[in-house]
Amino acid sequence: MGEHRVDLLIVGAGPTGLYGAYYAGFRGLSVALLDALPEVGGQIAALYPEKAIYDVAGFPAVRGQDLVDALRTQAEQADPVLLLGRSAVGVLEHDEGIDVTTDTGEVVHAKALLITAGIGNFTPRELPAGSEYAGRGLRYFVPRLDELAGLDVVVVGGGDSALDWALGLEPVARSVTLVHRRPQFRAHEHSVALLRASSVRVLTPYEVRKIGGEAAVEEVVVTTRAGEQVVLAAQAVVAALGFIADLGPIEGWGLALRHRHVLVDRTMRTNLSRVYAAGDVADYDGKVKLISIGFGEAALAVNHIAAAVHPGAALNPGHSSDQVA
């Protein structure tokens, strides 16, 4: 299918990978960006483009898709080779670098590899009751809130995603009901406080017992363990029960792993000399998973990669404001 030659291949085009691509260009490296999804942005673009993100430096709040768009514009300064809709399946290290093969038969020859694959491949946990309504009113994520405008929506779950979608749909849908099987939520306290102050109807501890409707969702039956039952009119059900993550072929590359995360040292290098990792996929003692930390890890990795692949290059690049435009 083709061959590509670059200084650095980045596997994973989410926020960390996009920032890593920009920073690679800043350090004078040629770069390719590979992702199994057809668009850049990772989980944010695929699952939460309308969600407000509050912990990115410089933004009191930023819509997920707006952040992705800005990161892509920034990354384009590096003129990266975009290899989207492809998965990395094989890795071969040799004296001159590393060769990565894709599921489409392409080969990327790189001097180093940076893995920024987030949680890897992710599939939603199914809603046991009513799974046959998937695509007929039952969905597992809401990439566009306006798709549910004017509908009665039931959101199922008690984590951050469930509360985010319930709160995001409140001004869009005709009505929103949040159903959770426990009295307590797993979401951030701030989100719980917003939920309590909203018009969202909260039913806890309830579970979805049945979804009804002929061609599509028309009602949802929820019950308590004691048998108390409530029948909800609904044209849409959003099941936010979490995701099952899988690193896929990466797990067979000989990398040191811990709980399906890639172990790295202080330079973000893995146990393979030309392979680095950053963002949620990377793990080390004291790791904290934040987008902002992923940005820093990507910059740290790229600086060490630049010094490794270009002997004589400085590890510390200085301030970007000192560079000639």
Q: Of residues 33 and 312, which shows the higher confidence score?
A: 33
User: If you write DSSP's letter for every residue of 114-143 in order, what string do you get?
Assistant: EE--TT-EEEEPP-STTGGGBTTTEES--S
Task: List pLDDT tens digits, range 85-110.
Answer: 899 999 999 988 999 999 999 999 99
Q: Is 48 annotated as a binding residue?
A: yes
> What is 126-239's CATH number, 3.20.10.10, 1.10.10.10, 3.50.50.60, 2.130.10.10?
3.50.50.60
- Residue 46 pLDDT exceeds 90: no
- Ranges of each domain in the chain: 3-122+243-322, 126-239
HEC string of 174-204? CEEEEECCCCCCCCCHHHHHHHHCCCCEEEC
Q: Is 321 annotated as a binding residue?
A: yes
For residue 246, count other CB atoms closer than 10 A to its CB: 14
| Rounded distance between C-alpha atoms, residue 320 and residue 19, angstroms | 14
Task: List pLDDT tens digits, range 187-226.
Answer: 889 899 999 999 999 999 999 999 999 999 999 999 999 9
- Residue 325 pLDDT exceeds 70: no
- Residue 148 pLDDT exceeds 90: yes
- The DSSP 8-state label assigned to residue 264 in this structure reads -
Write down the pLDDT at residue 84: 93
- The DSSP 8-state label assigned to residue 93 in this structure reads E
Write down the pLDDT at residue 182: 94
- Residue 255 pLDDT exceeds 70: yes
Range of lowest pLDDT (40-44, 218-222, 292-296): 40-44
Calculate what percentage of the chain has a pLDDT beyond 90. Answer: 74
Mean pLDDT of the 293-298 span? 97
Write down the pLDDT at residue 262: 96
Tokens 């426990």 correspond to 182
Write down the pLDDT at residue 324: 52
Q: What is the CATH number of domain 3-122+243-322?
A: 3.50.50.60
Do 3-122+243-322 and 126-239 share a fold? yes
Q: Of residues 69 and 317, which shows the higher confidence score?
A: 69
- Long-range contacts of the stretch 243-246 (C-beta < 8 A, 24+): 243/119, 243/122, 243/123, 243/124, 243/125, 244/122, 244/123, 244/124, 244/125, 245/119, 245/120, 245/121, 245/122, 246/120, 246/121, 246/122, 246/123
Write down the pLDDT at residue 51: 79
Mean pLDDT of the 274-300 span? 96
Task: List pLDDT tens digits, range 150-176.
Answer: 999 999 999 988 998 999 999 999 999
Task: List pLDDT tens digits, range 54-75.
Answer: 889 999 999 999 999 999 999 9
Q: Is 122 annotated as a binding residue?
A: yes
Q: Are 13 and 37 in contact (CB under 8 A)?
A: yes
Write down the pLDDT at residue 315: 86
| Rounded distance between C-alpha atoms, residue 112 and residue 9, angstroms | 7
Q: Is 191 annotated as a binding residue?
A: no
Mean pLDDT of the 99-127 span? 91
Task: List pLDDT tens digits, range 2-33.
Answer: 899 999 999 999 999 999 999 999 999 999 99
| Rounded distance between C-alpha atoms, residue 180 and residue 33, angstroms | 39
* Confidence at 183, pLDDT banded by 50, 70, 90: very high
Q: Is 243 helix (H, G, I), strand (E, B) or coil?
A: strand
| Rounded distance between C-alpha atoms, residue 38 and residue 246, angstroms | 18
Q: Is 77 annotated as a binding residue?
A: no
Q: Is 65 annotated as a binding residue?
A: no
Q: Are 112 and 18 in contact (CB under 8 A)?
A: no
HEC string of 39-55? CCCHHHHHHCCCCEECC
Mean pLDDT of the 119-125 span? 76
- Residue 120 pLDDT exceeds 80: no
CA quadruple 163, 148, 69, 263: dihedral positive or negative? positive
Which two tokens mark 70? Answer: 């800005």
- Residue 121 pLDDT exceeds 80: no
